[in-house]
Structure 1
């Protein structure tokens, strides 16, 4: 292209240019939902069930009985957990006897425990809290309950205390003061493991738990 032709093109573009800014409509002001405790529980349950999570809301004293019922339904042979988790003592005293799975406490040495872990049916963990707006669990890994407990077994059972369900992620971060003491990684879990291929065919459990069961404790 000659310089003369280029100059003519630029001249036409400059001539067509307008000095009036295009109209940009103003977006609405977003406001975080203000939900009471009952609404938070109901919304979290609805959102999580939408992505194939199984959610049960029950009094805190009844979770061992509900867990035993679920373990029988899934015909679980092994159950892993953090030995020093807040529910560990109750688990050891209740989950025993005929028809109950073998309890396998998490070993401190992950390399030695790895092979056994990948053969375990169910992993149970505590949670730091939940987010009602998008139906998400907050799992805060610790040396006693590392993230492998929620990522490797075929079924992940999560214990969520109803008082720790927040309306939004921003509220959870502010109220629990995340900025002051965060772990190396924090897990936000909304459902069982899922992935999709190039044809957008959704598959569950390819790279993690096939099922997520949440016990919301009131």
Structure 2
């Protein structure tokens, strides 16, 4: 038997450490459970916490009802001077926003390989619109699950990232999000946690926005059940 075989054999025969891991998990769960309110906060309470946390990280956030957000968001987009925005037209939210946009704002779909329109995307697109999978109210964090129709590029490249998140998908904290969405059973291959606009600082602690992502972040928190109508 080779040295390698002996080492592998000792590893296989070693006592499993699962009880220690389980004990640690129980202690972590108990810590977070003790910090949470009973009963759990209602979605509208989490929405207000999410909004406050986003404002604290220099994002713009507002709450809106399901039937009103497209018109309200479209008006804000026009007022900000956005002329081109990437929108996932395969989603009902994307179609609703596209239908509400004024004539001076062009909605683009991510239908081409990035290499075919990289210069156009980086140079002429003002904003990207995404629908968040969920959110973490304590920190104002968006949980994004990019896919082919709305890849990570949409929330990363344009200077303005506009996200929509439903209040009923909000979690109090990261620990609750992990358990409620059962990340331990298998996360998407590209799960992104985004908190406010991109920011960085140099050795002199000078804070700069937009160096590695969007310079501005807007978040619409929909406070009631989805009611997005199909748009032609």
Please tell me whether residue 204 in structure 1 is matched to residue 209 in structure 2. Answer: yes
Q: TM-score, normalised by structure 1?
A: 0.81
What CA deviation, in whole Å up to 9, does each residue of 1:123-180 have, x standing for no partner?
Answer: 0000001101122111111111101000010111001111101111121121122233
Contact 2:78–2:102 at 8 Å: present in 1 too? no
Cα root mean square deviation, aligned: 1.7
**Higher helix proportion (structure 1 or 2):** 2
2:138 to 129, 133, 139: 133
Q: Decide which structure has the larger Cα Rg and report it.
A: 1
Contact 2:82–2:127 at 8 Å: present in 1 too? yes
Shift of 1:196: 0.2
Residue 40 of structure 1 corresponds to which residue in structure 2? 46
Please tell me whether residue 92 in structure 1 is matched to residue 95 in structure 2. Answer: no
SS in 2 for 1:124: strand
Residue 147 of structure 2 corresponds to which residue in structure 1? 142
Contact 2:54–2:195 at 8 Å: present in 1 too? yes
Contact 1:32–1:168 at 8 Å: present in 2 too? no
List aligned pairs for 1:49-88, cutoff 5 A. Answer: 49-88=55-94
Tell me, in whole angstroms, the C-alpha distance in 2 between the residues paired with 1:179 and 1:191. Answer: 26
Residue 118 of structure 2 corresponds to which residue in structure 1? 114
- Counting matched residue pairs gives 189
Tell me, in whole angstroms, the C-alpha distance in 2 between the residues paired with 1:127 and 1:142. Answer: 12
5+ residue gaps, structure 1: 1-27
Contact 1:193–1:206 at 8 Å: present in 2 too? yes
